[in-house]
């Protein structure tokens, strides 16, 4: 069975003759990425056809599955030669249960050529050679190949007939070939600007303060302000009132107290109000019988404010008013 990515053709292939015809057709193909010929009754002669395909400069094959075919040592040797000639496209090879290895004999030619191909084919990252009896000597050949083949990250072999120390040595090399996990980069939290509204008005112009907030660790629920915030708070404090403004406020309060004292004296005086008194003023002092004299303005002072708050009519300074005409 063969197939390709991107809508490639699918066909049923059986035997060495069938795979040879297929490889001749695919030798110029640069679109096929995956080829599976598992359990297609391909013998050692099929190894030569596959070697020709892998060695083609036009092939872009990345995954090849030949598991379950009786390739034996001659077929594996021919396949290994094509693997070395490959231009770097093939990354995964499955030759499980292809009956190579010593198989009760001392023939390790297939394992030796496979180990050399794994070491030289720096584009290959995974090889499944399980189900084949390679023994201690064959596993030792693969260990020697892995010592200089850091690109091999996956290699499957059957542990039958292999001593534990040698098998663990193979696992050690495979573990060392694994890539280190990528560390995640922590994203820095952006600084946030914290703005405060105007803290009052002075001379018709508002003032504002800004500071920088630095976020602390997650879940703490706290933040600290930079030193610039404290400095800005000091420089933007509200100015104290001027001396002129204080004097004006004091004079206004004194006038209000004088008016309150005159009103209190008028309410406490007994007897009906005199008639025909237009233009007539009533004060808390004794009225004069002479003609009215112009009033002399008195400048407000802190003492006048204190006298006005005493509540008595006689404490304030009032101007005499002409006596009512009979």
Mean pLDDT in the chain? 71
Tell me how far apart the alpha carbons of residues 268 and 313 are, in angstroms, rounded to a whole number: 9
pLDDT at 220 over 90: no
Question: Which of 3-7, 39-43, 113-117 has the lowest average pLDDT?
Answer: 3-7
Tell me how far apart the alpha carbons of residues 229 and 212 are, in angstroms, rounded to a whole number: 7
- Residue pair 130/159 in contact (Cβ under 8 Å)? The answer is no
Tell me whether residue 317 is in a domain. no
Tell me whether residue 217 is in a domain. no
- Residue pair 93/67 in contact (Cβ under 8 Å)? The answer is no
pLDDT of residue 184: 73
pLDDT digits 0-9 by tens, 117-149: 999 999 999 999 999 999 999 999 999 988 878
What CATH number is attached to the domain comprising 120? 3.80.10.10
In the structure, what pLDDT confidence band is assigned to residue 3 with cuts at 50, 70 and 90? Answer: very low
pLDDT of residue 14: 76
Name residues whose C-beta falls within 8 Å of residue 318's C-beta, 6 or more positions apart in sequence. Answer: 262, 283, 284, 285
pLDDT of residue 70: 94
pLDDT digits 0-9 by tens, 274-287: 444 444 444 444 44
Taking residues 59-86, report their average pLDDT.
Answer: 94
Question: Which of 75-79, 84-88, 160-164, 269-273 has the lowest average pLDDT?
Answer: 269-273
**Structural domain tally of the chain?**
1
Tell me whether residue 3 is in a domain. no
pLDDT of residue 257: 66
Helix (H) or strand (E) holding 155, with range, is strand 154-156
pLDDT at 50 over 90: yes
Tell me how far apart the alpha carbons of residues 90 and 99 are, in angstroms, rounded to a whole number: 22
Tell me whether residue 39 is in a domain. yes
| pTM given for the model | 0.55
Tell me whether residue 172 is in a domain. yes
Taking residues 107-124, report their average pLDDT.
Answer: 92
pLDDT at 35 over 50: yes
Name residues whose C-beta falls within 8 Å of residue 235's C-beta, 6 or more positions apart in sequence. Answer: none
pLDDT digits 0-9 by tens, 183-200: 777 776 666 555 555 444
Tell me how far apart the alpha carbons of residues 315 and 307 are, in angstroms, rounded to a whole number: 6
Q: HSE (CB half, 13 Å, CA atoms) of 42?
A: 33
Tell me how far apart the alpha carbons of residues 162 and 204 are, in angstroms, rounded to a whole number: 94
pLDDT of residue 190: 66
Domain range enclosing 29: 15-176
Better-predicted residue by pLDDT, 136 or 319? 136
pLDDT digits 0-9 by tens, 203-216: 444 444 444 444 44
Tell me whether residue 20 is in a domain. yes
Tell me whether residue 227 is in a domain. no
In the structure, what pLDDT confidence band is assigned to residue 67 with cuts at 50, 70 and 90? Answer: very high
Tell me whether residue 216 is in a domain. no
List helix spans (H) across 123-242. 135-146, 164-176, 227-235
pLDDT at 51 over 80: yes
The DSSP call for residue 11 is: B
């Amino acid at each position: 069975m063969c197939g390709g990515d991107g809508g490639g053709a699918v066909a049923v292939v059986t035997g060495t003759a069938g795979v040879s015809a297929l490889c001749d057709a695919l030798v110029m193909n640069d679109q096929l990425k995956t080829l599976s010929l598992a359990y297609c009754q391909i013998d050692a002669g099929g190894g030569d056809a596959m070697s020709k395909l892998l060695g083609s400069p036009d092939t872009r094959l990345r995954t090849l599955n030949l598991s379950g075919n009786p390739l034996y040592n001659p077929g594996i040797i021919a396949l290994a030669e094509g693997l070395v000639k490959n231009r770097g496209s093939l990354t995964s090879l499955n030759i499980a249960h292809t009956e190579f290895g010593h198989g009760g004999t001392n023939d390790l030619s297939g394992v030796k050529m496979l180990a050399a191909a794994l070491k030289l084919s720096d584009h290959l990252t995974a090889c499944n050679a399980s189900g084949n009896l390679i023994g201690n000597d064959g596993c030792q050949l693969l260990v020697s190949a892995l010592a200089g083949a850091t690109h091999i990250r996956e290699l499957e072999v059957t542990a039958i007939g292999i001593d534990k120390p040698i098998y663990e040595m193979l696992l050690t090399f495979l573990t060392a070939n694994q890539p280190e996990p990528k560390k995640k980069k922590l994203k820095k939290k952006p600084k946030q600007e914290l703005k405060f509204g105007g803290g009052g008005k002075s001379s018709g112009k508002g003032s504002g303060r800004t500071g920088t907030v630095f976020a602390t660790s997650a879940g703490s629920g706290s933040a600290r302000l930079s030193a610039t915030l404290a400095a800005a708070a000091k420089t933007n404090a509200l100015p104290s009132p001027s001396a002129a403004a204080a004097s004006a406020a004091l004079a206004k309060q004194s006038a209000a107290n004088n008016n309150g004292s005159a009103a209190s004296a008028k309410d406490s005086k007994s007897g009906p109000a005199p008639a025909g008194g237009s233009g007539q003023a009533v004060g808390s002092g004794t009225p004069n019988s002479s003609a009215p004299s112009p009033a002399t303005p008195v400048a407000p002072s802190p003492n006048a404010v204190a006298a006005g708050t005493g509540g008595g009519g006689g404490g304030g300074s009032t101007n005499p008013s002409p006596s009512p005409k009979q």
